[in-house]
Amino acid sequence: ANEVLEDRSQVETGRSATFVGVYDGHGGPEAARFISDHLFFHLIKHAQDSKTISEDVIRNALSATEDGFLTLVSRTYKLKPLIAAIGSCCLVGLIWNGTLYVANLGDSRAVMGTLGRSNKIVAEQLTREHNASMSEVREELMSTHPDDASILVQKQGVWRIKGIIQVSRSIGDAYLKSPELALDPSFPRFHFAEPIRRPVLTAEPSVHTRTLKPNDQFLIFASDGLWEHFTNDEAVEFVHNSPRAGIAKRLVQKTLKRVARKMNLKDEELRNVEKGERRKYHDDITVVVIYLDHNLLNQEMSLSIPELSVQGFVDTSGPSKFNILQQTT
């Protein structure tokens, strides 16, 4: 939708683990691209050091990624000050040793499709979203910034932090985290009348751990570009009743059909809208669907399971770097 695509995604599979990342950038593509290039390698390093996977390993990998991007911002700030206004949501899923770990910063979402009674597919949302549209997020912001009357500003019926941004947690957005990287009045959209006294946004993720069950069928990881037009129930029902091959692309196509219908446009009319201009109709949309084949997962590790490394929108794939975790099973 945007003139320059701000989303990135990646899937890394090995013989004993699977990693999924969905990175929904804002202000530009640099933060999402940085996460895609660095987060997984930080995860591998911390897994090596700990000789296992845990919530702390994932938190530490995200923290190292945040520190790395903020260091990059500090180094380039004088030449390119607007890099301080670039950030990204970050949704991570990791399946290892029969356990699913999901970490989230921002308003992307992970949803599990599970078979319930009478083999009816049931949606289970696994992530907590950090968006000022949610009352609990607003309460959290007001309780942590009691002396800041402008911590939340409602514009055109939408709550925004400092009147600018909806997400309360992210990678990047340095101008909302460091007074030294604030932008001056020549950038009115990102300038504050009074300097911030302490970070307004945080990079502390919400982390969820779940032991996989035999009736767990698949996982949908997606940026809010999908969830603005699909409920959890609608999405899992669509995946459950569709062929596996090409399912993520089919979800995106179905989303675009819904957008066109809402805007009273024909499908081809929406497709013909130029990038950038199309952002008026919908956001960038990123979807990854992971099917859980329990029979395969329960077989011996000597079984030949293909290894793959795919980064969305880069059109490259090759051998997975996800080999360290084989040593820890």
What ranges do the domains of the chain cover? 7-131+167-328
pLDDT at residue 162 in the model: 92
| In contact, 90 and 107? CB cutoff 8 Å | no
CB atoms within 10 A of CB 260: 19
Q: Residue range 62-89: average pLDDT?
A: 97
Backbone dihedral region for residue 27 (phi beyond 0: left; psi -120 to 50: alpha; all else: beta): left
Q: How confident is the model at residue 176 (pLDDT cuts 50, 70, 90)?
A: very high
pLDDT tens by residue, 127-159: 999 999 999 999 999 999 998 988 999 988 999
- DSSP-derived pairing of the beta strands 308-312 and 7-13: antiparallel
∠ CA 265-266-270, rounded to 5°: 70
- Write down the pTM of the prediction: 0.89
Q: Which CATH superfamily is domain 7-131+167-328 in?
A: PPM-type phosphatase domain (3.60.40.10)
Strands (E), the chain: 7-13, 17-26, 87-88, 90-96, 99-105, 109-115, 121-125, 152-155, 158-161, 171-172, 206-211, 216-222, 287-291, 308-312, 316-318
Contact criterion met (CB below 8 Å) for 43 and 56: no
pLDDT by residue (tens digit) across 282-319? 888 999 999 998 776 555 443 344 577 787 754 444 44
| pLDDT of 59 higher than 70 | yes
Q: Which one has a higher pLDDT value, 251 or 5?
A: 251
What does DSSP assign to residue 300? -
252's enclosing H/E stretch is helix 247-262
For the stretch 218-227, pLDDT in tens is: 999 999 999 9
Q: What are phi and psi of 267, to 5 degrees?
A: -55, -45
Note the pLDDT tens digit of each residue in 76-113: 999 999 999 999 999 999 999 899 999 999 999 999 99
Tokens 């800041």, residue? 148
C-alpha closest to that of 60 among 72, 75, 49, 71: 49
Residues paired with 113 in a beta bridge: 123, 218
pLDDT at 296: 63
How confident is the model at residue 102, as a pLDDT?
98
What gap in Å lies between CA 35 and CA 217, rounded to an integer? 28
Handedness of CA 67, 68, 73, 74 (dihedral sign): positive
